[in-house]
Amino acid sequence: MEIRRTPLYYKEDLALVHHLGFGFHADLCAPGILTLLDPIRERDGLVVELGCGSGLLTRHLVDAGLRVIATDASPAMLALAREHVPDAEDVRQVALPDDPIPSADAIVSVGHVLSYLPDSQSIERSLIAAAKALRPGGVLAIDLCDLEWAETRRNDPPSGRIGDDWAIITEYNVPAPDRFVRNITTFLRNKDDTWRRDDEQHDNVLVEVLRVPHLLKPHGVFTKSQ
Ligand SMILES: C[S@@+](CC[C@H](N)C(=O)[O-])C[C@H]1O[C@@H](n2cnc3c(N)ncnc32)[C@H](O)[C@@H]1O
């Protein structure tokens, strides 16, 4: 029997806090990604999004007229995405690195989704799977945590944010040069005005992103400058 090593991140409470308070990254990425996807939209191509979360980037893509299959590992995130982007082509579970990636004209992913995989081999395997799932003339747009990320965040003090009905506190830890660990505590207001607490530990694997173009070149994916 195969044992799946990828832990489940983003249970219900953190998924909701992400949706309510962490849309800024998808909002900032959307204009650049939409520009890259102009040729895909012109030919009515299909976009597959990996780690769509609650559908924050998906909303931008679908609003721009793109056909999108939004995928994620977390059932809680997928439930939010189905509500937030009911007009996506599909919202379905794809847990990397083991689940197959649907074939597409473009594959996009923001919010360092692959950095959640258990090791660099799983990240490389998923990048190659994405390259192979791309149809000819396709576009791959993906962000990953670089090794430098740990260096810049190494001494960060714990941080906190609050909204009307939620709060989040995050502690940072760099146990190895290629690991970035966050201990995340969320508080959400219940209907009876009491509060509930949940905790997650996010263990991200950092890679040398400059190696990625060399990894993908034999699989037919070239950066614009190659
Ligand atoms: C930081 S969130 C980003 C979500 C969304 N892309 C955004 O920008 O709002 C990372 C996402 O990666 C997903 N994820 C983590 N591990 C995954 C895996 N093994 N396969 C697919 N998705 C995964 C999480 O469930 C979560 O939705």
**CA 168 to centroid of ligand 1, rounded, Å:** 18
What is the third-level CATH fold of 148-205?
N-terminal domain of TfIIb (2.20.25)
What tokens appear for 160 in the block? Answer: 């906190």
Q: What one-character-per-residue DSSP string does 8-54 give?
A: ----HHHHHHHHHH--HHHHHHHHHHHHHTHHHHHTT-EEEESS-TT
pLDDT digits (tens, 9 = 90+) for 13-62: 999 999 999 999 999 999 999 999 999 999 999 999 999 999 999 999 99
Residue with the smallest CA separation from ligand 1 atom 2 is: 111
User: Between these two residues, 150 and 72, which has the higher pLDDT value?
Assistant: 72
What is the model's pLDDT at position 151?
A: 86
Cα(92)–Cα(111) distance, integer angstroms: 18
What is the tens place of the pLDDT at every residue in 135-153?
A: 999 999 999 999 999 888 8
CATH class of this structure's domain 12-146: alpha beta
pLDDT at 114 over 50: yes
Distance CA 127, CA 216 (A): 7
> How much of the chain exceeds pLDDT 70, in percent?
96
Domain ranges within the chain, ordered by starting residue: 12-146, 148-205
pLDDT band at 76 (very low <50, low <70, confident <90, very high): very high
Q: Which of 176-180, 181-185, 222-226 has the lowest mean pLDDT?
A: 222-226
Predicted TM-score (pTM) of the model is 0.96
Kindly list the protein residues whose Cβ atom lies closer than 6 A to any atom of ligand 1.
6, 9-10, 25-26, 51-53, 56-57, 72-74, 77, 95-96, 110-111, 113, 116-117
